[in-house]
Amino acid sequence: MEDITGITTNQRNIFTSLRWVLGLLITSLCIMQLCLTYRGLNQAEAMDMAQIARQIARGEGFTSKFIRPIDAWDYAQASEKKKDEEDQAKLDFDRFPEANHAPLYPYVLAAAIKMTGYDDFAAHRMDVEKTNIYAGDRVVSGTSTFFFIIALVLAYTLLTRMFDEVVAATTVAFMGLSELMLQYALSGLPHTLMMCFLLAAAHCLLSAVKADQRVNTQKTIIWICATFIFISLLCLTNYMCVWIALGLLVFCGIFFRPYGMYAAIGAGILAFLVLLPTAIILAPAGGIERQIIHGVFNGFGSSGAETLMRTASTSAIAFNSANFFLRLLGYTFAQFNSMYINMGAIFTVPFFLLALFNKFRKPTVEKTKWAVLLMWVCACLGMALFGESKSISESQLATLFTPFFAAYGTAMVFVLLGRMQLGTMFNAVRALAIAGMLLVSSGLFLFQLPKQLYMGIWTSARGIPHFPPYYPAALNGKLHDMTNDKEIVVTDQPWAVAWYADRKALWMPLSLTDYTRNLESIFARHGQSVQGFLITPSSHSMQGGGIGGVIRAAGDFAPLALEGKLLLLAPKHNMAFAELFTSNANEKSTARPLASLVSSQGIYRHRNFILGAEMIYYSREDVSDKNK
């Protein structure tokens, strides 16, 4: 007996067994990575959202221990305006409002942290003699891995509806055995949850297209509303996804009749579910216009978002409008060029572009193809303006389209095979093609897997952290004991200090003027003080380009970073490099020189080696005995 797809009952039973084997293999890979070869978090954004989630789990609300200079400035300005209205206003650095991340994912993480008890920092301190990996990292990575598995299930069911079980299972195999996809599952970033929302939205959009073909206006409206509810959740997980929503609005405005009606419905839902909550969250810091201004500086500024975040006033950042369009074009084409890599190096991904020229028999598949294209093009535009070029990044949206690109590409390969008139050999040739494509896409990763297992299990029972630049045991142990929870630590690694050490951390500004004139006055007005400076490999060992790279990364605080670098190169010469900087190079500068802050005669005169010269903590008092 043979079904309409040309697969016999025997073959279908074999296929069902293979499907279960595939599911078991992917789940086992995820568990293995989480338990056996796990190295902890290595994404700054993941650590940042984790510490925000812990604040939420403690009942502190949507607050952060990671303080950006620009946030301190903006909130202080807003606080001053409020003071004029209410005669009294004080910025609470113990409950510092968070305005840089979308709120949904930190709340999801907060639930996982609360259930596992990791909101109680003291109860889950690291045993630095036994492990180098912070167990709280596994909670964060375990959450994103859970959503990765859910995303694969949603992808399978959606692609089965659109194509057939073979295309669906092949695509899921590509994703589940892709090194990049598995890295995202472990990263702790919100992408796996975002993929779940996008796939759920695609399910609803597919139903809306079917209802529209049957001229069932009522059902079409219901499914369009459901689509944009999931897209709203996507935007509340990452604000960059507004660009994806824009692409979907364009699709709904063009492909549904009457023109524009369904796009208007979607825009209304987005305004109510995304714009309104965002306005409420950002109200303490000047509202949504603050994000718009920061976005403009990021897009038109002479450097990227990091420079903006480490500056205490946007007036210090120059516009670069002359090169803006060149940058926009360059970044846009870079997104096209890196499409294959950013979507997991899956063999069939580039075939999506070929599928655009093929008319699929199912009208739903044909229409959805253009929806995917419009959303992806708008996402590329957003990433070119505000995103990063790295394959693993909070702002990298290309990964979300992997199931769609891989599925259409796989279907296109099968269409080409079908046109070869293979007859009874079709299923055998197709199976051989699937095996070959899997080998190309995942062969190198699977080949290296035994080595990773050996390294993770036998080489170090304590675990191998992502060092440099992150060494959780040093922050969770020594730094936490040397510091208090009332004052701020200024550091080049504030996300890690906030998460691993559970201390308030200010991102080290690039300018001494910003620190001594702007930030110190803000702290003084609002009853906050700084207890010390922490320099980590983020400023020296991770920077390419020699001394120039260190200077670009640390700005006016480069002598501190270079001091650690010099001690690493010449450990017998215990030089206090910052003491040489007793005056400013710019005679017109009103900033205090670096030596007045960090030197044997400065405010922070004591050097504490947290991890040799790799991590040095400069404090007001001698705190070395606190760790004994």
pLDDT tens-digit readout, 509-549: 998 988 988 999 999 999 999 999 999 999 888 777 777 88
Contact (Cβ atoms closer than 8 angstroms) between residue 560 and residue 554:
yes
* 262 has pLDDT over 80: yes
pLDDT tens-digit readout, 277-301: 888 887 766 667 767 766 666 655 4
pLDDT for position 75: 85
Q: Provide long-range contacts, Cβ within 8 A and 24+ apart, for 52-55.
A: 52/98, 52/101, 52/106, 53/106, 53/107, 53/108, 53/109, 53/110, 53/112, 53/113, 53/140, 54/110, 54/113, 54/118, 54/119, 54/121, 54/499, 54/502
pLDDT for position 2: 33
Residue type, 331: Y
Higher-pLDDT residue of 558 and 9 is: 558
* 374 has pLDDT over 90: yes
pLDDT for position 460: 66
Q: What is the mean pLDDT of residues 256-275?
A: 94
pLDDT for position 226: 98
pLDDT for position 598: 86
Helix (H/G/I), strand (E/B), else coil: 42: coil
* 232 has pLDDT over 90: yes
pLDDT tens-digit readout, 6-20: 556 676 677 777 788
* 158 has pLDDT over 90: yes
pLDDT band of residue 588 (cuts 50, 70, 90) is low
pLDDT band of residue 491 (cuts 50, 70, 90) is very high
CA distances in angstroms from 547 to 175, 198, 258, 348, 566, listed in the order given: 41, 44, 62, 43, 11
Q: Omega of the bond prior to 494 within 30 degrees of 0, cis?
A: no
